[in-house]
Amino acid sequence: MSTVSFKGRYTVKPAEATWRGSLCLSEWDMIGTITHVPTIYFYRPSQNWLTPADSIANTLKQSLSRALVPFYPLAGRLHWIGGGRLELNCNAMGVQFIEAEYDSKLDDFGVFSPSPKYNHLIPTVDYSLPIHDLPPLLVQLTTFSCGAICLSLTISHAVVDGQSALHFISEWARLARGEPLETVPFLDRKALRAGGPPIGLPRLDHSEFDQPPLLLGRSNNVEERKKKTTVSILKISKPQLEKLKEIANEERHSHIRSYTRYETLAGYVWRCSCKARKHSAEQPTALGVCVNSRSRMQPPLSRGYFGNATLDVMATSSAGELVTKPLGFAASRIREAIEKVTTEYVWSAIDYLKNQPDLTRFQGLHALGSDHGPFYGNPNLGVVSWLTLPIYGLDFGWGKEIYMGPGTLDDFDGDSLILPDDRRGDGSLLVALCFQAQHMDAFKQYFYGDIIETIE
């Protein structure tokens, strides 16, 4: 049986002195997922491979130290300040860098996909420790017996969102290649009124802060949280996706712009989930959509804004409407939720959260089986898009990765992710889905069966 042995654990600190002090976090930083989120990259040896093997680790550590100068919040530590609120102490304590060896070849590893088999390749975060003892960033470099490597990072979602995390990683790679920064991070979170009081704006409807619908006849979702889940990766080809988009847009009025890949595919996944879960027609259901507010605000946030600037909104419907009405209906419900996110909506939502005495109920920091925190499992789901993020092509000086993806998916029923299948390069997409094990086979049958019927 293959095993991973750990060669060393190091603390990498900024290469130069950085600003020190308490950085106020915005409300977006302190709600939703505030734990660490892993990503993973695999690289195969080539003629450009650095030798000896220590050169790779040294290159990564030295360039990481330089990257932590402009991106110094990642070298700090989070602190609770009461009421479920956090601040970031920029104290240059550094990030953790782990070196490991895997006594197996990369080709023996099997098909790449988010899986528990990655667990030993990803830094472990010990959440039994106080939050102020946890680095916001942990990195693990694992060398395979064939010389291939795996680079994994796990980054606190309370410090950055996906776009900011990828901004940091790409700039780190540029420094490793000996190039200058392309975009300096914008670190002033007061752009989203971090640390400021509410200002009494008119309150808009913010149903995203309410608990999503429950199964009919239930008073909570505790039992649904306890049920066994499994993860599957479902592929959809470009012709299949184009056909779905054509169907979704069939009854669209000419003055309405065409539904996007995300709106179409997320709507399709929503319909399939209702069928697989055998919902009654009257069952209310919600789909959580993660919306990037950076360019939706006027004026837009500064280029390189480093922090969380995304918010979750909910598309809602009855299962009967989703299943019986054309696909365009599901897409239109998602479009409606996304288009609510305007400048006024963002400021109103921030004011709403600032007026909350405690943010704990909005935070995803709770174990399975708990009845606290956001949960988009049965009868709901969340569909996150990575379609517009620059997730591929990370080159530290020895070529681009052969695979990149989320390290793991959460164990929560209903969590899903749509991302491009870059290995094919033909416009196909992947849906990474965590679903209750008892419903997964039925979901696959509807997902692929309905696509085949659609194209035929």
What are 218-232's pLDDT values in tens digits? Answer: 998 889 988 999 989
Spatial distance between the Cα atoms of 373 and 365, rounded to a whole number of angstroms: 7
In three-state secondary structure terms, 251 is coil
Q: Which is the catalytic residue, given 157, 167, 279, 439?
A: 157
Query: Contact, 184 vs 66, CB < 8 A?
Result: no
Q: Taking the CA atoms of 133, 139, 142 and 143 in sequence, report the sign of the dihedral they define.
A: negative
Q: Taking Cα atoms as reference points, which of 155, 193, 331 lies closest to residue 260?
A: 331
Domains of the chain: 4-192 (3.30.559.10), 210-455 (3.30.559.10)
* Predicted TM-score of the model (pTM): 0.93
pLDDT at 30: 96
| Cβ neighbours of 83 (radius 10 Å) | 11
pLDDT at 330: 97
Q: Which is the catalytic residue, given 79, 132, 372, 395?
A: 395
User: Pairing relation of β-strands 85-90 and 77-82?
Assistant: antiparallel
Residue 197's Cβ-count burial label (10 Å; 0-12, 13-18, 19+) is exposed
Residue range 391-421, pLDDT digits in tens: 999 999 989 999 898 877 666 899 999 999 8
Residue range 193-227, pLDDT digits in tens: 999 999 888 888 898 898 899 999 999 888 998 89
Out of 181-190, 240-249, 360-369, 439-448, pick the least confident. Answer: 360-369
pLDDT at 277 over 60: yes
Torsion over CA of 385, 387, 393 and 395, rounded to 10 degrees? -40
Contacts of 267 (CB under 8 A, 6+ apart): 248, 259, 322, 327, 329, 330, 331, 333, 334
Per the annotation, the verdict on 253 as an active-site residue is no
Query: Contact, 285 vs 322, CB < 8 A?
Result: yes
Q: In which residue are the tokens 């990655």 written?
A: 118
| Cβ neighbours of 352 (radius 10 Å) | 17
pLDDT at 12: 98
Per the annotation, the verdict on 255 as an active-site residue is no
Average pLDDT over residues 66-70: 98
Residue range 98-142, pLDDT digits in tens: 999 998 888 877 667 666 677 889 999 999 999 999 999 999 999
